[in-house]
Amino acid sequence: MIPPRTPQIPVVVLAGFLGSGKTTLLNHLLRNRAGTRIGVIVNDFGAIEIDAMTVSGQVGSTVSLGNGCLCCAVDASELDTFLETLTRPSARLDVIVIEASGLAEPQELVRMLLASDNPHILYGGLVEVVDAAEFDRTRQRHPEIDRHLAVADLVVLNKTDRVGEAERERLRAAVAELSGPAAVISAVHGRIDPELLFDPALRPDHEDKVRQLTFEDLLREEEPDGHEGHADHLHASYESVDFTSDIPMDPRRFMEFLDSRPDGLYRIKGFADFGEGDRDHTYALHAVGRFLRFVPRPWARGEQRLTQLVMIGAGIDAAALSAGLAACRADGAERADEPGRADAAEVERAMWGVLRYVQEQAPEPEVFDAHGTADPREAAAEA
């Protein structure tokens, strides 16, 4: 099996009722993207200000934000069309964020993403933004918020600076009860760590040296003397747990761990080695909320065979998670350094739980010229 040349692009749905702070959070992501190229799809018709640029009722338009990002204003019926445009290699995007209308049904956008035939996208989670100061009144006006929270993968309890500590704890408990297993994090002015939603892109130095001054640069210059900004405080509301093992994972125990992962564990990413379960492949793992997917790729020649995972969440027990994963490691007969001892039929049965979540590899991307037109000569040269 040959891996795709380019990874799939995660698509994050950003939802919340009017005034909750969705656009403020999105602006924060754009300003602190650290070289990541973000595609923004605005599912709304009103005047939407994004990073000091405005899209006013222009459904079907694409606007360059001038900092490696794009913005589209679309109707929901056009979502697939714009996802096709934004996932072309010529767009060079790393992540796509859909800002849902304040009155949209976010689960419908999630359903459309999961049902999409676009092989270049990967569901990146539903983030529901909640206004802490207006939560009770919002529930009175829009009782459907309970339904929205129930399907969220991550809840951002925003504007927590506008309520006292006791009220903040009450709201957090109420939101957690409604959102079930979703991680709940507190924020002020939509400031969350971008790494909660997507991995930062690593780009060659020359790509950032010769470019126009961006809004991100201007915002850094505006920080008052003696203030370090908010970057150092973004990690306070969530935890990250790393796990590495040179012993393969037992597929059955590992799937039991994933199926029973605790509330508040938002993302799991990394690679899993299943030893005798599949000696030819390592399995890239992508989990967000209750969504789970594996993508196998061949081991590279000389590559060290490891399981390497990162778990991200809020209110999680790091020690218990590490211990739970350690208990998933294979016993002696199943280890990669002792091949042939495990019963082949039993090993195959153990892998069934993993294979249920295996996704087909994306096809090789087309190669586009500067005008976005496919160039068959260049494609043939790369084949």
Give the model confidence (pLDDT) of 55-71 as tens digits: 334 445 555 555 555 56
156: pLDDT confidence band, cut at 50, 70 and 90? very high
Lowest mean pLDDT: which of 1-15, 137-151, 293-307?
A: 1-15
pLDDT of 118 higher than 60: yes
What is the chain's mean pLDDT, rounded? 77
Lowest mean pLDDT: which of 32-41, 131-140, 328-337?
A: 328-337
pLDDT of 228 higher than 70: no
332: pLDDT confidence band, cut at 50, 70 and 90? low
pLDDT confidence of residue 72: 63
CA distances 75 to 48, 143, 249, Å, are: 14, 24, 44
Q: Helices (DSSP H) in the chain: which residue ranges? A: 22-31, 79-86, 106-115, 135-141, 145-150, 165-179, 205-209, 215-221, 251-259, 318-326, 344-355, 376-382
pLDDT confidence of residue 63: 52
pLDDT of 86 higher than 50: yes
- Which one-letter DSSP state was computed for residue 30? H
pLDDT confidence of residue 214: 36
* Percentage of residues in the chain having pLDDT higher than 90: 46
Strand 9-15 relative to strand 121-131, pairing: parallel
111: pLDDT confidence band, cut at 50, 70 and 90? confident
pLDDT of 317 higher than 80: yes
348: pLDDT confidence band, cut at 50, 70 and 90? confident
pLDDT of 122 higher than 80: yes
Model confidence, pTM: 0.77
Report how far residue 169's alpha carbon sits from residue 131's, in angstroms, rounded to the nearest whole number. 14
More confident residue, 181 or 210: 181
117: pLDDT confidence band, cut at 50, 70 and 90? confident
The answer to whether the beta carbons of residues 96 and 84 sit under 8 Å apart is no
Report how far residue 19's alpha carbon sits from residue 14's, in angstroms, rounded to the nearest whole number. 13
* Residue owning tokens 């002792």: 338
Lowest mean pLDDT: which of 27-36, 119-128, 249-258?
A: 27-36
Report how far residue 288's alpha carbon sits from residue 267's, in angstroms, rounded to the nearest whole number. 5
Q: Which SS3 state, helix, strand or coil, does residue 62 take?
A: strand
Q: What mean pLDDT comes out for the span 119-131?
A: 94
